[in-house]
Amino acid sequence: MSFLHSHLLSILIWLPILGGILVLATGDDRNAAMARKMGLGFSVATLLLSVLLYRNFDLTTADMQFVEQMPWINIFDIQYFLGVDGISVPLILLTTFLTVIVVIAGWEVIQERTAQYFAAFLFMEGFMVGVFSALDGILFYVFWEAMLIPMFLIIGVWGGQNRVYAAIKFFLYTLLGSLLMLVAILYLYSQSGSFSVLEFHKTPLGMTPQILIFLAFLAAFSVKVPMVPVHTWLPDAHVEAPTGGSVILAAVLLKMGAYGFLRFSIPIAPDAARELAGLMITLSLVAIVYIALVALVQRDMKKLIAYSSISHMGFVTLGFFVFNTQAMEGAIAQMISHGFISGALFLCVGVLYDRMHSREISSYGGVVNSMPSFAFLFVFFAMANVGLPGTSGFVGEFLVILGTYAVNGWIAAIAATTLVLGAAYTLWMVKRVVFGPVANDQVAALSDINPRETWMLALLGAAVLLVGLWPFPLLELMHASVDQLLEQARVIKF
């Protein structure tokens, strides 16, 4: 138990990676069944272990927990330094939960290079947990970049027709930003004499370096979130990615950018963060309103949901930069909730795509007639996307609006337009896809979701309801860390 406890984060990182290697070792598609079972086994084991992380997490402190620290590359002072707080734990849980869902989602759908497919997701899981628990700048950077590779492959190998363009766009877009982040990390090392992120937090910096560092991190994080105007890779990547790729992309990858703001930008450059808050809030509001309008006119379901993701992530960045407890906690809750909901919506589109091989809204109509169970779940997740109270989508939006209102009523009012716009683009799509008379023979011939599909959607649905009806445990998890973060944001460093 004590070994498990003291090395839990390492296990959560390396177990799925080890699993990935073993799955790869099953070889070609003749052993696909084996690869699937192993993939499921490793992802479930990781999920169960991450529950242990939650169970043993101390709610009373904002200090890093489950810390592992040892030298890694001595000559450069680079450490293998892991630890989690109340902000990273929910994200790790989200990661391990969604990996299981994605493995279930790919079960029958992926028939070619099965082992490689499941291995890629297991690798990615390990790297993502690594990103959320690394406390050494270089270690963080390594995980951050490593994660690009399996994602690149997932889009490029199992993707749609235009997959190569999308994969390269995704890769270059994100790489460009992260190189600037590396420069910022190296600069911070020169100032603090350590790569420890916790040291970075304490290092005094002048206003100009702070601004530059903030902008360098912004380059990396804003691409990942993504924020306007560096968001255009996301719709393309989603459209071309296989369903599982889209799910992980929307549910977890986007959160890494948002997480970066909390772990790096705000505590390292608090003065710059306050100075540039106006810019960040403006970009967030543009994302919420402009992107919602763009989402309204999309003809491709995946593009529509991708744009919806950008709009919802606007709420996350808005919540961060008004520097208010409710808004910040709401933003983190929104990250988790968006993981469930966008993941579920992409799975729903995947369910339809597997049957009809079309993502065009106009190919559908009256799906409810042939797929009533599916329609029920799809409408449910659509309502969650709209932020209906009782679903997780409400928690984040509600708290962010409350928190923002306390700072500036006008900003809150502009953000609240999502109540109308979000409902417009989501439910208009639902109307055209799910309701109405049967549009064509293909729709009439659709078979309703099978038990496997029902399970994966029902699990997400349960999560959406649980967080929506009782967000208390989730919020409780982050109180101490958010308080500390807001204190760090108030520090004057120069």
Name the site residues for other proteins (rule: CB under 8 A): 169, 172-173, 229-233, 290, 293-298, 324-326, 329-330, 366, 368-369, 383, 388-390, 394-395, 398-399, 401-403, 405-406, 409-410, 412-413, 416-417, 419-421, 423-424, 427-428, 431, 434-437, 469-472, 474-476, 479
Residue with tokens 């055209």: 432
Structural contact between residues 386 and 422, judged by C-beta atoms closer than 8 angstroms: yes
Tell me whether residue 35 or residue 295 sits nearer to other proteins (CB atom): 295
The CB-of-279 to other proteins minimum distance in angstroms stands at 18
The CB-of-368 to other proteins minimum distance in angstroms stands at 6
Structure tokens at 213: 């560092």
Query: In whole angstroms, what is the distance from residue 188 CA to residue 80 CA?
Result: 18
**What residues does 69 pair with on adjacent strands?**
81
The CB-of-466 to other proteins minimum distance in angstroms stands at 12
The CB-of-458 to other proteins minimum distance in angstroms stands at 12
Tell me whether residue 248 or residue 489 sits nearer to other proteins (CB atom): 489
**What residues does 383 pair with on adjacent strands?**
none
- Residue 66 phi, psi dihedral angles, 5° rounding: 55, 40
The CB-of-44 to other proteins minimum distance in angstroms stands at 27
Structure tokens at 457: 């959607």
Tell me whether residue 157 or residue 293 sits nearer to other proteins (CB atom): 293
Tell me whether residue 226 or residue 260 sits nearer to other proteins (CB atom): 226
Q: Enumerate helices (H) and strands (E) in the chain, giving the number of each.
A: 26, 2
Tell me whether residue 25 or residue 59 sits nearer to other proteins (CB atom): 59
Residue with tokens 């690798």: 123
What pairing do the DSSP bridges indicate for beta strands 65-73 and 78-84?
A: antiparallel
Q: Which of 155, 340, 130, 138 is nearest to 256 (CA)?
A: 130
- Residue 69 phi, psi dihedral angles, 5° rounding: -140, 120
The CB-of-428 to other proteins minimum distance in angstroms stands at 6
Query: In whole angstroms, what is the distance from residue 362 CA to residue 77 CA?
Result: 57
| 80: Cα separation from own chain's centroid | 24
Query: In whole angstroms, what is the distance from residue 390 CA to residue 298 CA?
Result: 28
The CB-of-304 to other proteins minimum distance in angstroms stands at 11
The CB-of-198 to other proteins minimum distance in angstroms stands at 25
Provide CB contacts within 8 A for 472, sequence distance 6+.
Answer: none
The CB-of-354 to other proteins minimum distance in angstroms stands at 23
Tell me whether residue 260 or residue 471 sits nearer to other proteins (CB atom): 471
The CB-of-297 to other proteins minimum distance in angstroms stands at 4
Structural contact between residues 391 and 383, judged by C-beta atoms closer than 8 angstroms: yes
The CB-of-228 to other proteins minimum distance in angstroms stands at 9
> Tell me, what amino acid is at 188?
L
Provide CB contacts within 8 A for 24, sequence distance 6+.
Answer: 115, 116, 119
Neighbours of 157 (CB within 10 A): 16
Tell me whether residue 85 or residue 329 sits nearer to other proteins (CB atom): 329
Tell me whether residue 169 or residue 201 sits nearer to other proteins (CB atom): 169
Query: In whole angstroms, what is the distance from residue 475 CA to residue 404 CA?
Result: 17
Tell me whether residue 49 or residue 388 sits nearer to other proteins (CB atom): 388
- Residue 109 phi, psi dihedral angles, 5° rounding: -75, -40
Tell me whether residue 52 or residue 402 sits nearer to other proteins (CB atom): 402
Structural contact between residues 139 and 130, judged by C-beta atoms closer than 8 angstroms: yes
Tell me whether residue 470 or residue 494 sits nearer to other proteins (CB atom): 470
| 311: Cα separation from own chain's centroid | 14
Neighbours of 87 (CB within 10 A): 24
